[in-house]
Amino acid sequence: MVYVDLNGDTGESFGRWQMTGEEALLSEITSCSLACGFHAGDPAVMRRTVKRAAAAGVSIGAHPGYPDLQGFGRRNMALTPEEVYDMVLYQLGALEAFCRVERVPLRHVKAHGALYNTGAADLETARAVCRAAADFQADLLVYGLSGSCWIRAAEETGLKPVSEVFADRRYHADGTLVARSEKGAVIERVEDVVRQAEQMVFSGEVTAVDGSAASVKADTICIHGDGADAAAFAGKLRSALEQHGVSIQAPGGFS
């Protein structure tokens, strides 16, 4: 039996501005990474999203990012490892408070946006995030780009890594993601999203932009919650994988 998690980034509304479609997305995914107020989200949004995820039976993780609401956490910041550690620890504590009130566990951590991309290539940044996670809760899972520094940093700190792939993103030959700023970096057609996901799950590889095959490990597949058709994409992807005998479930019972 092949096991795969479908995860989505959630809780990314802020104040009067609302990210639409998150409730529908929660009905299709098995784990969610919830914004902690720095790149998106606010206390009210965090509380509501934890409650909704718990009601939907979706595993909850923290989605810490750089303190950059204007840039949605997608702009780099030159922070020291100590600053990254403190920033992530703060966000973990904020989200866990809402989880505690709802009596649901915090299961994983997954960095957001520029912090995720920096940590994928910079081991010291990844280590700082993982140290904060390990010091906060020793059994947290770490979601990170397959084959990246996230996987090594998690293992070094005694945390279990969950190798993540992106069904809707193009890849370079070295397994890194094509930057969103580049044309064609995001796959728009659902048929192409499903096809790439199936390739990654069943073949352990993805066709890079240069036509070569990059090796990947697909423990979890990310569905971006800010996409207009995120729930529809997730539903079609889940249906396609289940038709091929894949069991869709949150990490924990598989590696």
> Is 90 exceeded by the pLDDT of residue 224?
no
pTM of the full structure: 0.94
Label residue 26 by pLDDT band (50, 70, 90).
Answer: very high
Residue 3 three-state SS: strand
pLDDT of residue 18: 76
Cα torsion 138, 103, 40, 154 to 10°: value is 20
Lowest mean pLDDT among 20-24, 111-115, 161-165: 20-24
Please give the average per-residue pLDDT across 159-175, as a whole number.
Answer: 96
Distance CA 99, CA 52 (A): 11
β-strand 213-215 against 205-207: which pairing, if any? Answer: antiparallel
Label residue 72 by pLDDT band (50, 70, 90).
Answer: confident
What digits encode the pLDDT tens for the residues 170-195?
999 999 999 888 998 999 888 999 99
**Cβ burial 95-106 (10 Å sphere, 16+ → b, else e):** bbebbeeeebeb
For residue 125, how far is the Cα from the chain centroid? 17
Higher-confidence residue of 21 and 220: namely 220
Q: Which residues contact 9 (CB under 8 A, 6 or more apart)?
A: 32, 33, 35, 63, 112, 222, 224, 225, 226
> Is 70 exceeded by the pLDDT of residue 104?
yes
> Is 80 exceeded by the pLDDT of residue 102?
yes
What digits encode the pLDDT tens for the residues 123-142?
999 999 999 999 999 999 99
> Is 90 exceeded by the pLDDT of residue 223?
no
> Is 90 exceeded by the pLDDT of residue 196?
yes
| Residue that the structure tokens 């996230």 belong to | 150
- For residue 191, what are the CA distances in angstroms to 179, 187, 209, 235, 253? 22, 10, 17, 12, 29
Alpha-helical (H) ranges within 19-160 are 22-26, 43-56, 81-102, 113-121, 123-136, 149-156
Distance CA 153, CA 46 (A): 27
Lowest mean pLDDT among 138-152, 171-185, 214-228: 214-228
pLDDT of residue 15: 75
Q: Quick one: tokens of 103?
A: 């009596």
Distance CA 40, CA 46 (A): 10
pLDDT of residue 228: 59
CATH code, residues 2-248: 3.20.20.370
